[in-house]
Structure 1
Amino acid sequence: MTPDANSGMNPGARPRTITVALVLVISLVTGGWLLEHGARSGPVRTKAEAARLFDEVFVHIYRHYVDSLAASSMYRMAVEGMLYELEDPYTSLLAPDKLGRLTETTSGNYAGIGVQVDVRDGWMIVISPTPGSPAEHAGIQPGDRIIEVDGRSTHGWTHEEAQRSFRGRPGTSLALRVERPGMATVIPLTLVRRPLHHSSVRRIAMLPNGVGYLDLDAFSDSTEREVTRSVNALRARGARSLMLDLRANPGGLLEQGLRVADLFLGPGQRIVSLRGRTEGANRDYTDSTKQLWPSVPITVLVDDKSASAAEIVAGALQDHDRAVIVGESTYGKGSAQTIIPLGEVGGLKITTSRWFTPSGRSISKEVDRDDDDSSADPRAGQRKQYTTSSGRIVYDGGGITPDVIESDSAWSEGVRTFQGALDRKVGLFRDALADYALALKTKREIASPQFTVTQPMLDEVWKRMVARGIVMDRGIYDESSNVVAPFLSYDIARYVFGPEAEFRRRVANDRAIKTALELMTGASTQKSLLDRALSRQREQRALSNE
């Protein structure tokens, strides 16, 4: 029987009344349960109360939560939640694979064939073989395309997949098939993996006017020995001053940071002070040996990726006026961590102390734990002043502030604009560059490392971009020629002439290196170098105030 529209009754009145009554009853029932089970909520004063609270919450979630959860997963979530609430991005659980990578980074030791590759057009393209490695002995060259590994096509492999395949137990063999620009036939190679050591010193070179250049990319267990050997080699080649490049150096072993700083400081000079809760976490580290090169003026290059042990070295040399710091403010990681092995589950990386430079400053940058922008420091503008050994003013917080700030902001803005126009097809642009560079190598059209990037060469890159489906206004591309041309020149130099030629091209466009060279040229003592830096600092301040 259907309701009569003219009967005067509201057909929804009775159901709505029942619904309201049910909601009231449910509220009373659940409210009573919540009052009963939540009566003990409030401040937890003792360890026993805290443990009881955890157990009760754990049991209720395990029994009543809408989705079933394994007890092991719940314990894992509890641990991760505890670590999250510390609001410390440097304290974390390390899965076995991450712990293994960290161990490899800090030791520098691994077993493999020793080849650096990049992914271009879906294939493994060799950047360079490691000196003395099985790959070098087999004759692998920059620009070679590795198309097969043990009979499997490498097309579509990620960089991580390639690295896993190249590494393995010492003594095991690896069959490769390689295509080389200019050769019609595929090259079959069989390499035997062996123990290798990744050097902390990425490169040494002689720059103009007797400046020795040393690029240090990490602090592993052999860094002090490598730096000593490298500086001695530069001195033997006529270096009268030293440029130590710590840019993009994420740090590593604290002990090695201390030892590297020790090389450049004198007996009794403090390197760093650690402060923590336990007795072992409170230490003052002081130089105990004579300087090996006391008459050599030093400049240190840093940027926003220089962190941890790299900052300890830069801060110690700056505070003792032993080096001029050039570049951008560093990352700002003023704490030290300890790794605690946890068996099969991996390990715990835990912050055990904060460190302070010789002048007493902490360079820690406070960053929101959910904010990936490490450049945002809420304490900016509230930084305290400290003084170096000679009375120069330095600041705490926000990383190590260089004595001479140098960053190519116009270049960086141009790169960002061009990348924005590429959108998600930056990888395809890089593929186009490599493809053209390898084509030039095949045709042997580039005769000298001092080649010039011409407009027809830029046009060829444009054609390859369009062929790969990159949609961009040609006017934007032409306006970005000052960005495209250097990138193209680096790829051509790398694949046609090798990593050394690429390095020379990059040095010519590196503003931090050029500024450091200007300061160092003719500066025979550290004091004269510091005086020049102070003059440049005054000029920069005057320009910023205009």
Structure 2
Amino acid sequence: MKNIKTRAVALALLILFLILAYVKLDISATSSNIFDQIQRFMWVLQSVKQFYVEDVDPKELVDGAINGMLEKLDPHSVYIPADKMQEITEEFEGEFEGIGIEFIIHNKYPTVIAPIVGTPSERLGLRPGDKIIKIEGKSTYGATEQEIVKKLRGPKGSKVTITIQRPGIEEPFEVTITRDTIPIYSITTYFMLDDETGYIKVGRFAKTTEEEFDRALRELDSKGMKRLILDLRWNTGGLLDQAVKMVDKFLPEGKRIVYTRGRIQEANEDYYSTYQTTHPKTPLIVLINHGSASASEIVAGAIQDWDRGLIVGETSFGKGLVQHQIMLKDGSALRITVARYFTPSGRLIQRSYKNGIIEYIQEGYDDIDPNANPDSTRKKPVFKTSKGRKVYGGGGITPDVIVKSFRPTRTTDVLIQNQIFFDYGSLFASTHKELAGNFNKFKNKFKIDESIINDFKSFITRKNIEINEDEFT
């Protein structure tokens, strides 16, 4: 009892200290009320520990209480346990230590989607479709993704031996891989769509995004790029400064890119373009959809408000809250919303979440856009761009040109769920090695003809998957 009381008091005092230190409250006016609520919380915690029918873990109770408290605020104020912080930090830092593969669990085994470029796995020749059946001699059958990650990652310079079952090769074989620092790329692909049109797909905004983006632009410029398609679909955001630096490539100096406003003065910031522009006049299209959120919405909103490019796709998710991270002594962290994002024209990016988190999430992926439907009664507020065009507020970025995402048929869904496309692609790649290693050669020479269609159908039949012939064609 004494231990739990000490832990509760310590936690309460820590939270109080952080609040007072960051928000600079008037202690004389508020401390009495805060201590009253803390005392009430302590009595509940002690009562549960003393009288509940089963023994309980005080840490689990406190974690639950913290989560419950933050849920009363907004969907993006969160508590992050210590065991999750490393994974999140690695994502934003842009690197981790391991062997360097992207994989999925397929038919109960970890299966390589692709080796990451420039990593030990690529250098040793791991391929898409390779099934990892053992790690250090122990079967991986039935292991979770988290369990596999834990076994494959480790300090740089350490070794791990895996057993591979490769499509087209009867006998499994072993590979010993020396772990290294593995980059987590923000830009998943970039290339020339034709002689003049560049394409860049940005998956997240992390510490290395600007560096990767600059490299992609330079390479596309060297190939004759005169216009650019920037794909931010399914980009859920990341680091604010990286989004600002991306917009900075396309705007002249002195243009406001985004601003934040909160209850405390420290949360109010204005971000402007600098002299770093590299492509101030390159024609630009930005692709967004319901999965584009936060930092990607900052980019799309600024480009739209300054009439710098065309926004195409679906209304973005509408996540426009600024979180301040407070690290706790046990390695866990609080992320507390301190401000809201606004586009240059004054549009609030954040959608309403007053009807609960479930409706908030569902509405974010809703196909119905009130501004695309003349009969909609749910109209959004209207703002003006720098050239006087109408743009819409009310949460998210409404595109200039609405293009609905591809909606797969039921047959396609079944094939995706059963990894049929992946399996066939892996088999095809292993038997058509002349197409590997040269994207331009593949783009120019590869054509899906009737023989490939028939071969694919036969492959589906061998997998005992039923398809709708009408949907297939």
Q: Same fold (TM over 0.5)?
A: yes
Aligned-residue offset at 1:317: 0.8
State the partner residue of 1:369.
357
Q: Is the 8 A contact 2:424 2:456 kept in 1?
A: no
Q: Is the 8 A contact 1:440 1:446 kept in 2?
A: no
Q: Which runs of 5+ in 1 are unaligned?
A: 1-44, 483-546
State the partner residue of 1:522.
none
Q: Residue 480 of structure 1 aligns to which amino acid in structure 2?
A: E
* Match status 1:157 vs 2:155: no
Residues 279 and 134 of structure 1, relative CA distance in 2, 3 Å threshold: same
State the partner residue of 1:80.
67
The C-alpha deviation readout for 1:386-429, integer Å capped at 9, x for no partner, is 00101111111231011111114xx41x43x3478x5xx964x2
Q: Is the 8 A contact 1:377 1:398 kept in 2?
A: no
Residues 481 and 49 of structure 1, relative CA distance in 2, 3 Å threshold: same
* Match status 1:460 vs 2:458: yes
- CA RMSD in angstroms comes to 2.8
State the partner residue of 2:22.
none
Q: Residue 81 of structure 1 aligns to which amino acid in structure 2?
A: G
User: Percent of aligned pairs with the same residue?
Assistant: 33
Of 393, 398, 401, the residue aligned with 2:398 is 401
Q: Is the 8 A contact 1:436 1:460 kept in 2?
A: no
Q: Residue 148 of structure 1 aligns to which amino acid in structure 2?
A: K
- Distance in structure 2 (CA, Å) of the matches to 1:187 and 1:267: 57
Residues 379 and 49 of structure 1, relative CA distance in 2, 3 Å threshold: farther
Q: Residue 456 of structure 1 aligns to which amino acid in structure 2?
A: N
State the partner residue of 2:3.
none
Q: In structure 1, the residue corresponding to 2:357 is in which secondary structure?
A: coil
* Match status 1:386 vs 2:387: no
Aligned-residue offset at 1:94: 0.4
Aligned-residue offset at 1:453: 5.5
The C-alpha deviation readout for 1:137-175, integer Å capped at 9, x for no partner, is 112222323222211222333333333222111110011
Q: Residue 85 of structure 2 aligns to which amino acid in structure 1?
A: L
Q: Which has the higher helix share?
A: 1
Q: Is the 8 A contact 1:244 1:299 kept in 2?
A: yes
State the partner residue of 1:17.
none
State the partner residue of 2:472.
481
Residues 306 and 379 of structure 1, relative CA distance in 2, 3 Å threshold: closer
Residues 276 and 208 of structure 1, relative CA distance in 2, 3 Å threshold: same
State the partner residue of 2:9.
none
Q: Residue 214 of structure 1 aligns to which amino acid in structure 2?
A: I
- Distance in structure 2 (CA, Å) of the matches to 1:75 and 1:442: 53
The C-alpha deviation readout for 1:304-363, integer Å capped at 9, x for no partner, is 111111111111111011111111111100111122111325111111110100000102
Residues 222 and 459 of structure 1, relative CA distance in 2, 3 Å threshold: closer
* Match status 1:240 vs 2:233: no
Q: In structure 1, the residue corresponding to 2:304 is in which secondary structure?
A: helix
The C-alpha deviation readout for 1:20-51, integer Å capped at 9, x for no partner, is xxxxxxxxxxxxxxxxxxxxxxxxx9445434
Aligned-residue offset at 1:440: 4.3
Residues 62 and 153 of structure 1, relative CA distance in 2, 3 Å threshold: closer
Q: Is the 8 A contact 1:366 1:379 kept in 2?
A: no
Q: TM-score when scaled to structure 1?
A: 0.71
Q: In structure 2, the residue corresponding to 1:188 is in which secondary structure?
A: strand
Of 339, 355, 358, the residue aligned with 2:325 is 339
Q: Is the 8 A contact 1:362 1:397 kept in 2?
A: yes
The C-alpha deviation readout for 1:6-27, integer Å capped at 9, x for no partner, is xxxxxxxxxxxxxxxxxxxxxx
Residues 190-205 of structure 1: pairs in structure 2 closer than 5 A = 190-205=176-191
Residues 123 and 78 of structure 1, relative CA distance in 2, 3 Å threshold: closer
Q: In structure 2, the residue corresponding to 1:344 is in which secondary structure?
A: coil
Q: TM-score when scaled to structure 2?
A: 0.81
- Distance in structure 1 (CA, Å) of the matches to 2:433 and 2:81: 49
Q: Is the 8 A contact 1:96 1:345 kept in 2?
A: yes
Aligned-residue offset at 1:89: 1.1
* Match status 1:116 vs 2:102: yes
- Distance in structure 1 (CA, Å) of the matches to 2:262 and 2:233: 28
Residues 378 and 92 of structure 1, relative CA distance in 2, 3 Å threshold: farther
Q: More displaced, 435-444 or 346-355?
A: 435-444
Residues 436 and 284 of structure 1, relative CA distance in 2, 3 Å threshold: closer
- Distance in structure 2 (CA, Å) of the matches to 1:127 and 1:71: 41
Q: In structure 1, the residue corresponding to 2:37 is in which secondary structure?
A: helix
- Distance in structure 1 (CA, Å) of the matches to 2:430 and 2:38: 70
Of 315, 320, 337, the residue aligned with 1:351 is 337
Aligned-residue offset at 1:222: 1.6
Q: Which structure: larger Rg?
A: 1
Of 146, 158, 166, the residue aligned with 2:152 is 166
Q: Which runs of 5+ in 2 are unaligned?
A: 1-31, 371-377, 436-444
Q: Residue 365 of structure 2 aligns to which amino acid in structure 1?
A: S
- Distance in structure 1 (CA, Å) of the matches to 2:383 and 2:118: 47
- Distance in structure 2 (CA, Å) of the matches to 1:233 and 1:392: 34
